[in-house]
Amino acid sequence: MLKKVAILANGGDCSGFNAVIRAIVKTAEKNGVECYGFLDGYRGLLNNDFVKLETSGLASGILNKGGSIIGSSLNANVFNYKVEENGQVVYKDLSEQCIENVKKDGFDCIFTLGGDSTQKSARDFAVRGLNVIGVPKTIDNDVACTEITFGYNTAVTVATEAIDRLHSTAETHNRIMCLEVMGRNAGWIALESAIAGGADVALIPEIPFDIQKVADAIKARQKEGKNFSVVVVGEGATYKDGEVVVKNVRDGGVGVINTQLGGIGEKVAQDLEKLTGLVSRNTTLGYMQRGGTPTAFDRVLSTKYGAKAMQLALEGKFSTLVVIKNGKLDYVSLEDVVGQNKEIGAVGSGTKEANAKLVTMDDDLVVTARSIGICLGD
């Protein structure tokens, strides 16, 4: 019998966290289950820091709120946790402390709301005997085994609105407008927003680009009398034979996600100005994509995910991740989500990119983009 459960939100925030929390709490209450929230993700699990979540209390009026009412921690891999000892930074496996906390407080299930590294840790806890159920979050849409993560649609919507706004200024001043969007090593946001916003070029990490080909596509537009172009650049996109542009490396390269990407949009804009003679500007959209109220789509998806996660807990289906498969709510084993990344608590949570769900060349988005003449730089 399930009596007491807890939720934790981990990794970079995105719209929809609160909608998931609300759906879990509501479904829990209907089934006589008490619900708690660990503060700041796995850090809360480690410090045993939690609050009660009730629809008459903290979990009220949160469906449309951005962020997470229980916080979210970045770079908190409790299997390889950064601590200071005698003035020295060392990394330690503190997962046993977390497990003790959960047992002592009598939580029957922990819901882990997060991306691939969060679910990697969830699986590592499952292997060590905790009852865990994951919910796939991230604006990047790169969690394996699900067709869509919550937060992604809102990010695409924000990026689309930015493209619309850049379109009119590009056209007015006969300029090339680049928009650098997030997504890490996956091009989902870049590609989908480029299609939604009617961009002329989409550069994604999965297709290393030839800048001359991009310039040629822009010049071909000029020949047709269109002296402006909109170019969407995924932050992880690379020049052919080029490297990912890194803005910052944290913690000397140790940690969950230690590289902050950024800068490729500016570089592309500068090169396109040289190659086409058109004035080019870059806008980096940044954290706008993660903040604020979720779209209706994300509210519904998050609610479905939260309700399903709690249903799975009631049925005792632990060590799983709720997913969308063939357009329907479903679940998979966390083992499938980590894929080949089996080692428990590996540095940097293992091979993040290796198991990320990237855009494939036969995806409808790629096929559609090519069909309507969006230049993908290849």
Binding residues for ligand F6P, per CB under 6 A? 12, 74, 138-140, 182-184, 235, 260-261, 290
Residue 241 is which amino acid?
D
Q: How many CB atoms lie within 10 A of CB 376?
A: 21
Tokens standing for residue 164: 């619309």
116 or 124: whose CB is closer to ligand F6P?
116
Shortest Cβ 263–ligand F6P spacing (Å): 12
Could you confirm whether 140 is annotated as catalytic? yes
236 or 306: whose CB is closer to ligand F6P?
236
Nearest to 320 by CA among 263, 295, 312, 23: 312
120 or 184: whose CB is closer to ligand F6P?
184
Tokens standing for residue 212: 């001359």
Shortest Cβ 284–ligand F6P spacing (Å): 11
Candidates 124, 140, 142, 200; catalytic one: 140
- DSSP conformation class of 42: H
- Report yes or no: 337 and 356 within 8 Å, Cβ to Cβ: no
- Report yes or no: 40 and 77 within 8 Å, Cβ to Cβ: no
27 or 284: whose CB is closer to ligand F6P?
284
Shortest Cβ 151–ligand F6P spacing (Å): 8
Tokens standing for residue 357: 């769900």
Strands (E), 208-340: 229-234, 246-249, 259-261, 280-284, 320-325, 328-333
Distance CA 34, CA 29 (A): 7
Q: What is the largest CA-CA distance in the chain?
A: 71
Distance CA 106, CA 124 (A): 19
**Strand pairing partners for 88?**
85
Shortest Cβ 160–ligand F6P spacing (Å): 16
101 or 138: whose CB is closer to ligand F6P?
138
- With CB atoms as reference, the residue minimizing the distance to ligand F6P is 182
Please report where in the chains the tokens 């609160």 appear, as a residue. Answer: 18
Shortest Cβ 302–ligand F6P spacing (Å): 16
Residues designated catalytic: 140
